[in-house]
Structure formats: C-alpha cells, structure tokens
Amino acid sequence: MKAKILLPTHENLFHVAQAIRQDEVVGIPTETVYGLAGNCRSPLALARIFETKERPTFDPLIIHVGPLAKGTYALERLELIDGARLSVQQRRWADQLILHFWPGPLTLVLPKHPSIPDLATSGLSTVALRMPRHSITQALISASQCSLAAPSANRFGKISPTTAHAVESELGDRIHWILDGGACEVGLESTIISLSESDEIKLLRPGGTSVQQIEDVLGITGLQLTSQTPFDQSKECAMPSPGMLESHYAPEKPFLLLPKSVTDLHESDLLSLFKPTIVRSLESSVGLLLMSGDSASLSSKFEKLTGRKVIARTLSREGNLQEAAHQLFTEMRYLDSLNVSAIYAEPCFSLQGLGFAITDRLKRASARYS
Ligand code: TXA
Ligand code: MG
C-alpha cells in the first residue's frame, strides 16, 4: 500500500468522506497536528485506527465534532454525551469553554453517551471531544456526516505529524489517503480538560490552549496538571488520563534535554548527559534543537563544549512561543532524519502560555534518556 496525498478539492473531499463512510481510515489535517480519522461509531474503523497506529487499546481516542455541536445540549442531541451525568456546575463550565474555545485546540472529557462504542473510549465511561478549527477538517466532518475519531497520525509513541508528508513517512505504507491541508497552524496537540468528576476540573494534557486562557474564561486560578504516576501497561484497563506513558513524542535517535539554554551552559553541565551508550562515536555529528537566538553563534559554542560537529535548528529566532510551538515537531522530525548520533534540546525559555505544552513535549520526548 502506498498512501496518496490529496489536495483538498471538492472531488477529493467527497472521495475521502466516502472512504470514511465505508469504514476506512484516512490521514486528515487539523489546526493542531494531523489525525488518523475514522467514523467514531464504526467498530471496524476504530479497530483499524488502533491497528494502523499500533496503538494499545487501553489508550482512548479523541472524537472530532462538526460545527453543529456547539454546546452541551447539542452534544446530547447528537448522542455524544450523557447530559444526565453532568452537574449544573460542570455543564456551565463545559458550555463556557465550548463558547470561547471551539472550534479550536481544546478537548473536553465529558460523560459518554452509551451509543459510542467502548473501543473509542477504551471502556471508560467518559469521552474526549473537540471541534477542530481547520476549515478542511470541518468540511470533511460535514461531508462524511459523522463525528471522527482521530488520534494523531503517527505510529504509537512517535512524533506527531504536522504536514501531510510527515503522515506519509509515519503511516504511508498502511493507509490509502492523506488529505493535504498544509502545515498545521498550532503545531502541537490540543489541551485536554476533564469535567467528568463531581464539580472538579482537571488538566490532563497541556496543549494549544493555554492554562491562563482557560483560567481567565472560567474565573478560576491554580489549574494544575493532574499528577501522573507512570501507567502500568500490564494492567488490562484504560489509562485514567493521557500521557501517563512517560515516554511519548519520541524521535528514533536519542533525544536529550539540556539542563539550561546553550547561552548559560558550562562544560560541567554536560558531564551527566554524555552517556557512553548514547553517543557512540566521537566523530559523529549531533543535532541541536535551539529554542531561540542566533543559531550560528550558539552552535559554535556547543561545538566547542562537546567537541562534535553540530547541526542546529532554531524554533523561533526572536523567542516567540507560537512560532516555537508551530516548529517544534517539524524540527524534531528533521533532526531525527539526519545522520546524527543524538539530538540535544534546549529547555523552553518560558513556562507561560504555550511554553508549558512545549516543555511537556520536550520532557516526554527525552524521558527515555533522563
Ligand atoms: O490535537 C489533538 O488533540 C490531536 C488532533 C488529531 O486532534 N489528537 C490527539 O490525539 O492528540 P491522541 O490520540 O494522540 O491523544 C489523545 C489523548 C490520549 O492520550 C488519550 O489518553 C486521551 O486523549 N483521552 C481520550 N479519551 C479520554 C478520556 N475519556 N479520558 C481521559 N483521556 C482521554
Ligand atoms: Mg498522539
């Protein structure tokens, strides 16, 4: 099988919608990252999503809804959520968040409607829903007349794709169609908020909508990432929250997070990072993922410190968080494709706004080597 990348013409949209109606899975653009989409009510399509991604079935999917689903009552009518299990407070919070952030990079976990197959939610009594902002995704949902279950279109645990070609390199031998919607605007996944437990709001995954924005809309403070104990994969149950697998978004090459920015880095800071098992040959080049600043001077400093040839990429020269998020997975993927023995990454220059989600992704990508 060799996936075909399709431009988003009317004919192609119709064609892909038809494939979805026939339980196929297809690569689709969204404003966050590309997804691997199938009809959320088709157990066959859902099984294909898990199989194509080699994703364990204990990791539930996000369901992407169309423009009609704007509010909890609409979600009930569309038989996506069970409104009877929402408290007045939860409904108010959910509606406020939907009003402000949909369509956009925010996923809400709400009580699941019984008609949604258990496979989509890994047997959980809750369902994760979001309304994507990308016009092509919206047109596709309308044309296929169903909500779309769509995890990121990468092999399980790997870097999420942000272009149609990245989907091709991840899954090109396993699917027929990839709809090309250009480079993803946000560049990292949606923020996930759970409103499924009694009058509690939980942040399950930081992402494209910042914690500050959510707090401002709800008039709350202190929303923190739900503490995550590493998930025991041997147990036959769903993950209670996403990202419980510490290692995620991982390049193939060893990916190491530097303790400080290259500007502040001293030779002694590197000692603990140069693990002999990781850096095989002293002649080999290493990749360097810079968050900001002048790539030429920073990479020559890193070359002096490490004695290696360095290939550097910068996420945002001026230190703009939107730009850094937009570039993150693309540059990780690029450095991973080079002939380097390891990739070193600077920590993000900010924990505010999208900096929190960028930091989360860098930590997970480097978890195996920290
Ligand atoms: O931006 C995004 O959210 C992208 C695009 C394609 O929409 N999708 C995405 O999906 O990141 P995925 O499958 O890579 O991550 C979805 C996360 C999983 O880690 C899963 O554990 C969590 O959502 N999730 C899904 N249903 C859940 C539920 N009922 N309760 C808690 N977490 C849930
Ligand atoms: Mg993913």
Cα 129 to middle of ligand 1, angstroms: 9
CA dist., res. 231 & res. 233, Å (int) = 6
Cα 85 to middle of ligand 2, angstroms: 28
Nearest ligand, CA of residue 209?
A: 1
Residue 345 structure tokens: 């990454």
Cα 311 to middle of ligand 1, angstroms: 33
| Cβ-Cβ contacts under 8 Å for 285 (sequence gap 6 or more) | 308, 309, 310, 311, 338, 339, 340, 341
Number of H helices, E strands in the chain: 12, 14
User: What are the backbone dihedrals phi and psi of residue 6, each rounded to the nearest 5 degrees, phi first?
Assistant: -110, 135
User: What are the pLDDT digits (tens) for 214-273?
Assistant: 999 999 999 999 965 444 455 545 555 545 566 788 899 999 999 999 999 998 888 777
| Cβ-Cβ contacts under 8 Å for 227 (sequence gap 6 or more) | none
Nearest ligand, CA of residue 103?
A: 1
> How confident is residue 204, by pLDDT bands cut at 50, 70 and 90?
very high
Alpha carbon distance, N-terminus to C-terminus of the chain: 37
* 355 Ramachandran zone, left/alpha/beta (phi>0; psi -120 to 50): alpha
CA dist., res. 365 & res. 255, Å (int) = 7
Grouping H, G, I as helix, E, B as strand and the rest as coil, residue 108 is strand
What is the layout of strands, in order, in the sheet containing 202-205? 4-6, 177-179, 26-28, 35-39, 148-149, 62-64, 126-130, 106-111, 191-194, 202-205
Atom of ligand 1 nearest to the CA of 192: 23
pLDDT value for 198: 78
E strands of the chain, at which residues?
Answer: 4-6, 26-28, 35-39, 62-64, 106-111, 126-130, 148-149, 177-179, 191-194, 202-205, 255-257, 286-290, 310-314, 343-345
Residue type, 332: M
Give me the residues near ligand 2 (ion), CB cutoff below 5 Å: 152
CA dist., res. 249 & res. 329, Å (int) = 8
Residue type, 68: L
Residue from 31, 53, 55, 152 to probe ligand 1 pocket by mutation (most atoms less than 8 Å from CB): 152
Grouping H, G, I as helix, E, B as strand and the rest as coil, residue 136 is helix
CA distances from 365 to 70, 110, 344 (A): 34, 28, 11
Cα 242 to middle of ligand 1, angstroms: 7
CA dist., res. 288 & res. 310, Å (int) = 7
Atom of ligand 1 nearest to the CA of 188: 1
User: What are the pLDDT digits (tens) for 31-65?
Assistant: 999 999 999 999 999 999 999 999 999 999 999 99
Grouping H, G, I as helix, E, B as strand and the rest as coil, residue 246 is coil
The response to whether residue 192 sits with its C-beta less than 6 Å from ligand 1 reads: yes
- With contact defined as beta carbons under 8 Å apart, do 29 and 179 qualify? yes
> How confident is residue 281, by pLDDT bands cut at 50, 70 and 90?
low
- With contact defined as beta carbons under 8 Å apart, do 79 and 40 qualify? no
Q: What is the pTM of this model?
A: 0.94
User: What are the pLDDT digits (tens) for 300-356?
Assistant: 999 999 889 999 999 999 999 999 999 999 999 999 999 999 999 999 999 999 999
* 182 Ramachandran zone, left/alpha/beta (phi>0; psi -120 to 50): left
Sign of CA dihedral 91, 142, 325, 359: positive
